[in-house]
C-alpha cells in the first residue's frame, strides 16, 4: 500500500517479480553464467546508484530479503511471480514454480504464482501444464519466447504447438498470458523481437489476455499498433518503468504513447524485481508528472486516478482481486503487523 501525503491509500500489484537462483552452484554451463551477468548489467545500468546490489547478492537472494524489499519497503500489496525455467542453463529451474508456491503458502493473499510452458515439450508438456494448473492453481503463465530448447533457440506464439498450449490454457482457466519477447534467436532470418505472432494469438484467443512484458520494447511501435487492433492485449511496464530514473523524458514519452494508443485500463506496473526495486520505482512514479510539451503533443494526462489503475487496479481486474475485501484481509497478516509496528 502506498500512502500519499494527503492520506490517499493506493493498492499496489507488482505484476512482475522473481525469486531466482542464478548462483554459480546452480549454473549448468557458461550460458547460465552469461544470463545472470546480463541481468546484472541491466540492474546496474538503470538503477539509482544507491540501489545497486553487490554482485553475489544479485545472483541469489533469500526469501526474507524478498519479503522485506517487495512488501515491507516496496509498498507492494500483491506480487505476481513470473518465472522462467531456463532449464538448459540451470540445474534447478532459474524461476521455480514449486519454490514460489511454497513461499506463497507462507503469506496467504500476498502472491499470485504463475507457471510457464514451452510448446516444444509437446504432449508431455501439456500434461505437466495440467498438473501444475491443478497443483498450483494457475491463473496465468509467463512465456519467454527466446528460451533455448535442445537445438531450437526460440519459438513463436503462432506455431501450431503454441496454439495447442493456448487452447489448453483456455480450457484450464489460465486466462493471463504474459509474453516476454526476449532477444529471441529464432526465426533466425527474421527480426528477433518481432511481435506480430502476438497479434495472431490474440485474435485467435479473444478470451485470453495477452500481457506483453516490456511493452514490446524494442518494438514499441509494432506493439502499439497491435494493441490498438486487439482489445485483449495489455502493456506490462517492466523495464520501461526503470527509464523513469535515468531517462525520465523517454519514460514520459513511452507512457504517453501507451495512453494514446491503448488506454489507461490496459497498462500494468511491474518492477521486474530483483532487476529493480519497487520502492524507488513507485516513489518516482508517484512523484512523476508529464512534461507539458509531451502532454500537449499526445493530448493525454497522467492523473492520480490513472496512476492507481496502472499500479494495481488493472492487474486486480485481470486476476479477479476484489480490492476492498482483499485489503481488509491483508491488514491482518504478519507483514501488515510488522509494518504497523515499524510505524
Based on the shown chain and the rule CB under 8 A, indicate whether residue 98 belongs to the binding site for other proteins: no
Of 91, 89, 82, whose CA–CA distance to 37 is shortest? 89
Least distance between other proteins and beta carbon 23 (Å): 9
Of 60, 53, 43, whose CA–CA distance to 94 is shortest? 60
* C-alpha cell, 270: 511491474
Among 5, 6, 49, 54, binds other proteins (CB under 8 A): 54
Taking CB under 8 A as the binding criterion, the range among 74-82, 130-138, 195-203, 213-221 that sits at the site for other proteins is 213-221
- Whether the CB-CB separation of 235 and 215 falls below 8 Å is answered with yes
Strands 111-113 and 78-81 come out as parallel
Nearer to other proteins, 97 or 300 (CB): 300
Nearer to other proteins, 78 or 146 (CB): 146
Least distance between other proteins and beta carbon 26 (Å): 11
Distance CA 140, CA 210 (A): 10
- Whether the CB-CB separation of 65 and 277 falls below 8 Å is answered with no
Nearer to other proteins, 25 or 342 (CB): 25
Distance CA 310, CA 264 (A): 7
Of 228, 235, 230, 178, whose CA–CA distance to 204 is shortest? 230
Distance CA 222, CA 196 (A): 8
Based on the shown chain and the rule CB under 8 A, indicate whether residue 191 belongs to the binding site for other proteins: yes
Least distance between other proteins and beta carbon 193 (Å): 8
For cell 546490489, the residue is 53
Distance CA 177, CA 157 (A): 11
- Whether the CB-CB separation of 22 and 36 falls below 8 Å is answered with yes
For cell 545472483, the residue is 59
Nearer to other proteins, 83 or 216 (CB): 216
Contacts with other proteins in 232-251 (CB under 8 A)?
240, 243, 246-247, 250
Least distance between other proteins and beta carbon 277 (Å): 17
Based on the shown chain and the rule CB under 8 A, indicate whether residue 185 belongs to the binding site for other proteins: yes
Least distance between other proteins and beta carbon 11 (Å): 29
Based on the shown chain and the rule CB under 8 A, indicate whether residue 183 belongs to the binding site for other proteins: yes
Contacts with other proteins in 250-279 (CB under 8 A)?
250, 253-254, 257, 260-261
Of 255, 244, 309, 303, whose CA–CA distance to 278 is shortest? 244
Least distance between other proteins and beta carbon 298 (Å): 8
Give all strands of the β-sheet with 267-268 in edge-to-edge order.
140-144, 176-180, 209-212, 233-236, 267-268
Based on the shown chain and the rule CB under 8 A, indicate whether residue 57 belongs to the binding site for other proteins: no
Least distance between other proteins and beta carbon 159 (Å): 13
Based on the shown chain and the rule CB under 8 A, indicate whether residue 150 belongs to the binding site for other proteins: no
Distance CA 61, CA 5 (A): 32
Q: Kindly report the number of other CB atoms within 10 A of residue 106's CB atom.
A: 11
Based on the shown chain and the rule CB under 8 A, indicate whether residue 295 belongs to the binding site for other proteins: no
Least distance between other proteins and beta carbon 133 (Å): 30
Based on the shown chain and the rule CB under 8 A, indicate whether residue 187 belongs to the binding site for other proteins: yes
Binding mask 1-30 toward other proteins (x if CB under 8 A, else -) reads: -----------------------x--x--x
Of 130, 73, 144, 140, whose CA–CA distance to 100 is shortest? 140
Nearer to other proteins, 164 or 186 (CB): 186
Binding residue count for other proteins, defined by CB under 8 A: 52
State how far the alpha carbon of 261 is from the alpha carbons of 158, 229, 253, in Å: 24, 10, 12
For other proteins, the binding residues (CB under 8 A) are 24, 27, 30-31, 33-35, 37-38, 40-42, 44-46, 54-55, 59, 146, 151-153, 182-193, 217-221, 224, 240, 243, 246-247, 250, 253-254, 257, 260-261, 297-298
Amino acid at each position: 500500500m502506498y500512502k500519499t501525503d494527503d492520506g490517499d491509500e493506493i493498492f499496489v500489484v507488482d505484476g512482475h517479480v522473481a525469486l531466482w537462483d542464478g548462483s554459480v552452484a546452480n549454473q549448468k554451463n557458461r550460458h547460465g553464467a552469461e544470463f545472470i551477468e546480463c541481468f546484472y548489467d541491466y540492474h546496474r545500468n538503470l538503477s539509482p546508484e544507491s540501489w545497486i546490489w553487490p554482485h553475489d547478492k544479485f545472483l541469489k537472494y533469500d526469501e526474507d530479503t524478498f519479503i522485506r524489499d517487495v512488501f515491507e519497503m516496496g509498498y507492494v500489496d500483491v506480487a505476481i511471480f513470473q518465472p522462467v525455467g531456463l532449464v538448459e542453463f540451470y540445474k534447478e529451474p532459474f524461476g521455480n514454480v514449486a519454490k514460489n508456491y511454497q513461499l506463497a503458502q507462507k503469506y496467504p493473499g500476498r502472491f499470485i504464482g504463475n507457471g510457464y510452458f514451452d510448446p516444444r515439450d509437446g504432449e508431455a508438456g501439456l500434461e505437466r501444464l495440467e498438473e501444475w494448473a491443478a497443483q498450483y492453481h494457475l491463473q496465468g503463465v509467463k512465456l519467454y519466447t527466446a528460451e533455448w530448447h535442445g537445438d531450437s533457440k526460440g519459438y513463436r506464439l503462432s506455431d501450431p504447438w503454441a496454439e495447442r498450449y493456448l487452447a489448453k490454457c483456455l480450457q484450464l482457466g489460465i486466462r493471463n498470458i504474459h509474453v516476454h519477447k526476449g532477444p529471441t534467436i529464432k526465426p533466425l532470418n527474421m527480426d528477433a523481437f518481432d511481435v506480430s505472432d502476438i497479434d495472431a494469438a490474440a485474435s485467435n484467443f479473444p478470451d485470453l489476455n495477452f500481457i506483453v512484458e516490456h511493452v514490446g520494447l524494442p518494438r514499441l511501435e509494432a506493439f502499439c499498433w497491435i494493441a490498438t487492433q486487439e482489445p485483449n492485449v495489455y502493456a506490462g511496464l517492466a523495464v520501461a518503468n526503470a527509464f523513469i530514473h535515468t531517462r525520465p523524458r523517454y519514460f514520459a514519452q513511452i507512457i504517453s504513447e501507451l495512453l494514446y494508443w491503448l488506454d489507461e485500463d490496459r497498462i500494468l506496473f511491474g518492477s521486474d524485481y530483483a532487476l529493480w526495486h519497487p520502492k524507488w520505482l513507485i516513489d518516482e512514479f508517484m512523484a512523476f508528472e508529464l512534461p507539458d510539451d509531451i502532454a500537449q503533443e499526445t493530448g493525454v494526462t497522467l492523473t492520480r486516478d490513472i496512476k492507481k489503475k496502472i499500479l494495481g487496479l488493472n492487474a486486480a481486474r485481470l486476476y479477479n482481486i476484489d480490492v476492498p475485501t482483499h485489503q481488509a484481509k491483508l491488514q491482518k497478516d504478519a507483514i501488515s503487523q510488522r509494518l504497523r509496528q515499524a510505524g
